[in-house]
Amino acid sequence: MERILYRENLLTAPQLSGIIVPLMTPFKRTDDGQGKTVDTASQDLLIKRLVAAGVHGIFLGGNAGEGRQMDVANWKLSINSGIESVRSTDAHIPVVVGVLRKDLKEVVSLALYAQKQGADALVLAPGFTEADIYDTRNKVMQATNIPIVLYNNPEFHGDRSDLDDGKNLPITFIGNSAKSERIIGVKDTSRSLTYLAQLLKYRDPNSFHVFQGNTEGNGYINEISADCDGMVPVEANVYPEALVKLWENGDSNDLYKVLEYFKQHTEESGGTLRLIKKLLNDPNDRVLATAMMYEDE
């Protein structure tokens, strides 16, 4: 039986702003030691930690959470248990769910599943799905009835003729999408202030929000404080308080310390995600009981 959405009315753009955490997905070995499964207990601990820190939303199944790599069964387990954890902790915090897949039929199927589980909005990456970007957007909109946030990330787009410079979602596509009541925002991880500035032309505080996915350099941080409606930073998995302070009172001192730490230690840890996993498993301040991510052997 389909769950009843926790909100009486559908999520609107003004209800989605601030620090939206792209949750990392913890994994553990299956009982037979041959496979891996979502560590739901650790995921619950992490969600409770983030909510207690005052974050403004949870993003499940995102790129940082390896939503586009993991198998469907684990994706569903993470989404189902993650939504339950958020609702049991604070029912008012928005939960957005990423449907980041190459196959359009699978995208639609997962979007329907997320809707049935009570997601407040979907996060759709038309540039990652192999179908035409307009077809991808329209098919998901036709199949579902909850809001959608678009996701622009050249890292996993590849080189496509229907994208700007083969990398970014076309600005005309964003402008066209912003006219729809169902599409309430866009998350940008282009690492281009020029592209971000173009997106901000379509920003409407009442209907279409722009979220920054980068934490690189003073320019990005200033852009967040001045013009964007929120931030989707992977670092918030470990240091949510610093990001919340930045959003709520413009205090960036702690955030710069966090970013400097990540800059110094990411390479030796084998990348940002593995550094975060290491920090989350620090025995001196343990948040998760897991010891692996989906792609780890």
Rounded to an integer, what distance in angstroms lies between the CA atom of residue 269 and that of residue 254? 22
Most confident of the following: 5-14, 31-40, 211-220, 257-266:
31-40
Of 244, 101, 123, whose CA–CA distance to 187 is shortest?
Answer: 123
Give dist(CA 31, CA 118) in Å, integer.
30
Task: Specify the residue for token string 């248990």.
Answer: 81
Which residues sit opposite 121 in a β-bridge? 96
Average pLDDT, the chain: 89
pLDDT, position 135: 97
Is residue 3 one of the residues assigned to a domain? no
Helices (runs of H) and strands (runs of E) counted in the chain: 10, 10
Answer yes or no: is 208 within a domain. yes
Reduced to 3 states (helix: H, G, I; strand: E, B; else coil), residue 200 is: helix
Q: Computed from CA positions of residues 28, 31, 35, 40, in that sequence, does the dihedral angle turn out positive or negative?
A: negative
Specify whether the CB–CB gap between 73 and 109 falls below 8 A: no
Percentage of the chain beyond pLDDT 70 is 93
Domain count, the chain: 1
pLDDT at 246 over 60: yes
Could you tell me which of 23, 81, 80, 14 has the C-alpha nearest to residue 51?
23
Is residue 204 domain-resident? yes
Range of the domain at 168: 16-280
For residue 276, being part of any structural domain is answered with yes
Q: Is residue 103 part of a domain?
A: yes
Confidence of residue 250 (pLDDT cuts 50, 70, 90): confident
Paired with 210 in beta bridges are: 186
Please report whether residue 2 resides in a domain. no
pTM for this model (two decimals): 0.92
Range 204-221 average pLDDT: 79
The per-residue pLDDT for range 117-167, each reduced to its tens digit, is 999 999 999 999 999 999 999 999 999 999 999 999 998 888 888 898 889
**Cα–Cα distance for residue pair 266/205, rounded to 1 Å:** 35
**pLDDT of 226:** 59
Any idea what the CATH number is for the domain that residue 256 is in?
Answer: 3.20.20.70
The first and second tokens of residue 234, run together, are 């992977």
Residue 50 lies in a domain: yes
Q: Considering the domain boundaries, does residue 81 fall inside one? A: yes
169 vs 4, higher pLDDT: 169
Q: For every residue of 137-183, which 3-state class applies, written as one string?
A: HHHHHHHCCCCEEEEECHHHCCCCCCCECCCECCHHHHHHHHCCCCE
